[in-house]
Amino acid sequence: MLTPIADGVFVHQSDLLRNNTVVVSGDAGALLVDPGITDAEMSCLADDLRALGMPVVAGFATHPDWDHALWHPALGGAPRYGTAEATAFLRDLRTQPYWQQRFADALPPEIVTDVPIDLFGLIEALPDGASHLPWNGPAIRVLAHPAHATGHAALVVEGCRVLIAGDMLSDVLVPMPDLEGVDDPLGDYLAGLDALAAVADRVDAFVPGHGSVGDAAQLRRLLELDRRYIHTLRDGGPFDDPRIDAPEPGWEWVGDLHAGQVESAARRGGDSAR
């Protein structure tokens, strides 16, 4: 089901991980951001768009995680974009032996047979120096930043004053810095939060990659909550974050994710000290 959140902007939420697909209506059709995540859900999304008379004319992947770079044949063959870094990452991944098995191994076991893989990651890089998405619709600013994953980007639908945040600002997930893949994951995450904070005065609503759509006040609250989490992960000390203790049934695994991040951050700190 498509839920309107602003003039010409809709959200379709998946069941398992509360992934948010964002639809932006343009002059000739729709932009689709991070469609997901199961075959049935994407088929439903295609049916909803068809009923509204909105063919898909462009796609965008906010980053190259498995649940944000999916696609489905029913959505058509529109160009799909991402940052140059995300595009290169996915191109390299698809050339590796047995990448399909590695992809399947990353999935929650309950949906491993339900996620379409053939069109995963087939995105193209934005033009060099592009600050906006190249499509026939509302101006959409691309806000690339280093937090969470290689080639991550948020989008600002400028006329509609909507921020599409990618995998940040969630009310159900703690921040997830790339603790295994980059030199300064916590600094990178804080830089990403700074980039989002810099546009906070220009938006009235935001859509996280997972969880609840929020307004400007909730955006500022989550920016502060995420910043405090990263500072505590960096500096040590007790955490004061309601997401750790599973505010919703079925999300108890977030506590395990958090514990793993605390261990990884402590190990990195010890390695740096030697």
Query: Could you report the per-residue pLDDT of 56-77, keeping only the tens digit for each?
Result: 999 999 999 999 999 999 999 9
- What's the mean pLDDT in 124-128? 96
Q: What is the pLDDT of residue 272?
A: 44
Q: Which helix (H) or strand (E) holds 66?
A: none
Residue 83 inside a domain? The answer is yes
Q: What is the pLDDT of residue 264?
A: 95
Residue type, 235: D
Residue 52 inside a domain? The answer is yes
Backbone angles phi, psi at 149, to 5 degrees: -155, 160
Q: Which residue has the higher pLDDT, 62 or 1?
A: 62
Kindly tell me if the per-residue pLDDT of 246 is higher than 80. Answer: no
Kindly tell me if the per-residue pLDDT of 230 is higher than 50. Answer: yes
Residue 255 inside a domain? The answer is no
Cβ atoms of residues 162 and 156 within 8 Å: yes
Residue 256 inside a domain? The answer is no
pTM as predicted:
0.96
Q: What is the pLDDT of residue 23?
A: 98
Q: What is the pLDDT of residue 127?
A: 93
Cα maximum dimension of the chain: 61
Query: Could you report the per-residue pLDDT of 75-102, keeping only the tens digit for each?
Result: 999 999 999 999 999 999 999 999 999 9
Residue 246 inside a domain? The answer is no
Read off the pLDDT band of 274 (50, 70, 90): very low
Number of domains in the chain: 1
Residue 147 inside a domain? The answer is yes
Q: What is the CATH number of the domain that holds 146?
A: 3.60.15.10
Q: Which residue has the higher pLDDT, 272 or 207?
A: 207
Residue 273 inside a domain? The answer is no
Query: Could you report the per-residue pLDDT of 176-196, keeping only the tens digit for each?
Result: 999 988 899 999 999 999 999
- Could you list the residue range(s) of the whole structural domain that residue 128 is in? 3-241
Residue 198 inside a domain? The answer is yes
